[in-house]
Amino acid sequence: MSKKNDALAIDNNYTPVTPDPQYILQVNALKKYFPIKGGVITKTVGYVKAVDGVTFNLKRGTTMGLVGESGCGKTTTGRAILRLSGEKTGGQVLFNGKEVYDLNAKEMHDIRTKMQIIFQDPFSSLSPRMPVGEIIGEAVREHGIVSKEEYNDYIDNVMDNCGLQPYHKDRYPHEFSGGQRQRICIARALALNPEFVVCDEPVSALDVSIQAQIINLLNDLQEKYKLTYLFISHDLSVVEHISDTVGVMYLGNLVEYGETDDIFKNPLHPYTKALFSAIPIPDPTIKMKRIVLEGSIPSPANPPAGCKFHTRCANCMEICKTQAPEQKEIEPGHYVVCHLYDDVKGVEKNEEE
């Protein structure tokens, strides 16, 4: 009985953060669980803990990369921040200092223009029944971004910025290639003049030559419109190229988070080290020292106790099996969640004492 209740209990203890104007987005202990229905009368028998306490801050005009293997909750994090997958389970999402999940329907409608998303799959994320001009322009009219007279010029301009021709407006999505479709998705998101864009693996469905074009387009647009990106990807080279800060996720948790240079030059968490050792080096004479992780990723419905990574960690200690590690700032702005650094003097401690 008690075991059953344990499975259903949601631990929602966190210290609330105060809004800080230097950050466009503050995510604090964000949790998103999906109920598992079972039994004859379909009641909740457990949860898939897709996002299980993710904390990070995002400065205005920067790009944060979010990496991790498939199924670790990157995409769910991105969607949960935009309140696109129902209600959150716990934690805070402050966008421009305001809790996103406290907004009513009207305020939510208005804030949609400020935060946008580019989905992973440019083939399924465009309605097959709408011409491209309508896909891009529908929300522009819905939110009254520009006046009726300027509307056509505005759409042409947005399309031009994203490398699309005005005559593409009357065509349907199926008439475009993958790269062009992703441009349509980008144009669609940018037509609303957002401040913050979640790029959910925007290039993983495209071939490498097109990937570079899209990444460069995203970079150019960021400079032009002072955009903030949350760039979700499993392609580490792309993340290294585009990001200012990087977060590494494992099984619903952020295990390491910091400046891109710090993370790539000095990875601290054993998982990050293993992940980065898999980056291919385009030089056949260099022998790669790959750290191969044992086993497979545990089920997010029933994650291991203590540190979630302990089942696959090469440096697993006794404490890891029972006690979950805390987030610790090792260098300024470089956080890690691992017991290996319990004895290392963190930056945070110095400031507090």
Partner 1 sequence: MRKFIIRRLLQSIIILFFVAFIIYALMRCLPTSFIEAMARQKSMQPNSKSYEEWMQQLTAMYNMDGGILIGFIRWLGNVIRLDFGDSWRWTIPVTEKFKEVIGLSFIMGVISFFFELIIAIPLGIIAATKQYSKTDYAVSIIALAGISLPTFFFASLLKLVFSVKLGWFELGGVVSRDYPQLDAFGQFLDRANHLVLPIVTLVVISMGSLMRYTRTNMLEVLNADYIRTARAKGLSERKVIYHHAFRNTLIPIVTIVGGSLPGLFSGALITETLFSLPGIGFISYVSEVSGDIPFTMFYLVFLAVLTLLGNLIADILYAVVDPRVRIS
Binding residues for partner 1, rule: CB under 8 A, are 42, 79, 82, 84, 108-113, 116-117, 119, 121, 124-129, 131, 138-139, 142-143, 172, 174, 185, 188-189, 192
Contact 141, 224 (CB under 8 A): no
CA dihedral (116, 181, 132, 174) positive or negative? negative
Distance, first Cα to last Cα, the chain: 45
Q: Which is nearer to partner 1, 84 or 305 (CB)?
A: 84
Pick 174 or 289: Cβ nearer partner 1: 174
Give residues with Cβ within 8 angstroms of 261, minimum separation 6: none
The CB-of-81 to partner 1 minimum distance in angstroms stands at: 12
134/121 Cα distance (integer angstroms): 19
Helix (H) or strand (E) holding 53: strand 43-59
Q: How many CB atoms lie within 10 A of CB 224?
A: 10
Nearer of residues 140 and 313 to partner 1, judged by Cβ = 140
Structure tokens given for 232: 């979700």
For the bound state, the minimum distance from the C-beta of residue 144 to partner 1, rounded and expressed in Å, comes to 12
For 256, other C-beta atoms within 10 Å of its C-beta total 27
Those residues whose C-beta lies under 8 Å from the C-beta of residue 87, and which sit 6 or more positions away, are 101
Shortest Å distance, C-beta 105 to partner 1: 8
CA pseudo-torsion sign 103, 191, 194, 76: positive
Q: What gap in Å lies between CA 96 and CA 115, rounded to an integer?
A: 10
> With respect to partner 1, which residue has the nearer C-beta, 205 or 293?
205
Q: Least separation, in Å, of the C-beta of 173 and partner 1?
A: 9
Calpha distance 132→138 (Å, rounded): 10
To partner 1, the closest distance from the beta carbon of 49 in angstroms equals 21
> What's the token pair of residue 162?
């994203």
Q: Tell the smallest beta-carbon distance from residue 266 to partner 1 (Å).
A: 36
Nearer to partner 1, 140 or 268 (CB): 140
> Based on CB atoms, which residue is closest to partner 1, 109 or 349?
109
- Residue 11, Cβ neighbours under 10 Å: how many? 11
Closest separation in Å from C-beta 175 to partner 1? 9
SS3 state at 117: strand
Closest separation between CB of residue 233 and partner 1, Å?
A: 18
Nearer to partner 1, 124 or 323 (CB): 124
Task: Kindly tell me which of 126 and 162 has the beta carbon lying closer to partner 1.
Answer: 126
Nearer to partner 1, 132 or 336 (CB): 132
DSSP annotation string for 293-317? PPS-PPPTTSPPSSSTTTTT-TT--
Q: Which amino acid is at 229?
A: Y
The least distance separating partner 1 from the CB of residue 113, rounded to whole angstroms, comes to 6
